[in-house]
């Protein structure tokens, strides 16, 4: 089947218009009206569902997940490369990044403990590592700056019963 021009889905009042803008380019547009694309994870009704979506809202491009007002579960949103999860926005509003689980949630920054890397971040940067503290079951925060591979302990013996420390 060949369609020339645009494909109108939904009739006069609920239009979704699809166009071939250029070779291998599919566009969804309808004048100056912002567009939304959704992919269902579950769907029972118009109010009981779960979607992944990409949309324009108030001149901001947004991607994420949503649940229906009458049912469904808030879901995490993952960023992947090479089919491997690299970062996760969790349904509660937190964010974790990478295999070491650098996490930002509820106004705090956290991470898993690491072994001493003794590697410099480079002339234009710095890094912070969470390591097992001097006392058993605690952590310490070690900072590196510039080309120095020598870490400076910022805080030591934080907390108690830290797994693996």
Q: pTM for this structure? A: 0.63
Dihedral angle, C-alpha 126, 127, 133, 138, nearest 10 °: 130
Q: 73 near 50, Cβ under 8 Å?
A: yes
Closest CA to 140 of 162, 155, 118, 161: 155
Give the DSSP per-residue string, the chain: ----SEEEESTTTS-EEEEEEETTEEEE--TT---EEEEEEEESSSSBEEEEEEEEETTEEEEEEEEBTTB-----EEEEETTEEEEEE-TTS-EEETTTTEEEETTEEE------------TT-EEEEEEE-SSTT-EEEEEEETT----EEEEEEESS--TT-
35-55 pLDDT tens trace: 999 999 999 999 999 999 999
Residue 129 to residue 131: CA distance in whole angstroms: 6
48-83 pLDDT tens trace: 999 999 999 999 999 999 999 999 999 999 999 999
CB neighbour list of residue 94: distance below 8 Å, 6 or more residues apart: 103, 104, 105, 106
**Predicted local confidence at residue 155, as pLDDT:** 96
94-103 pLDDT tens trace: 888 876 567 7
120-164 pLDDT tens trace: 777 878 888 888 999 999 999 988 888 888 889 999 999 999 988
Residues 154, 146, 157: CA angle, nearest 5 degrees: 15
Residue 19 to residue 17: CA distance in whole angstroms: 7
């Amino acid at each position: 089947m060949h369609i020339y021009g645009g494909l109108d889905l939904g009739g006069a009042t609920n239009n979704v218009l699809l166009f071939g803008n250029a070779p291998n380019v599919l566009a969804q547009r309808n004048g100056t009206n912002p567009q939304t694309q959704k992919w269902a994870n579950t769907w029972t009704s118009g109010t009981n569902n779960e979607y992944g979506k990409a949309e324009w809202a108030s001149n901001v491009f947004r991607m994420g997940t949503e649940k229906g007002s009458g049912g469904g579960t808030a879901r995490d949103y993952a960023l992947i490369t090479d089919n491997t999860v690299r970062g996760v926005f969790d349904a509660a509003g937190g964010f974790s990044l990478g295999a070491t689980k650098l996490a930002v949630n509820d106004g705090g920054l956290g991470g898993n403990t690491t072994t001493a890397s003794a590697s410099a971040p480079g002339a234009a940067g710095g890094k912070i590592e969470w390591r097992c503290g001097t006392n058993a079951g605690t952590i310490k925060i070690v900072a590196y700056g510039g080309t120095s591979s020598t870490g400076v302990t910022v805080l030591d013996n934080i907390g108690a019963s830290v797994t693996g420390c």
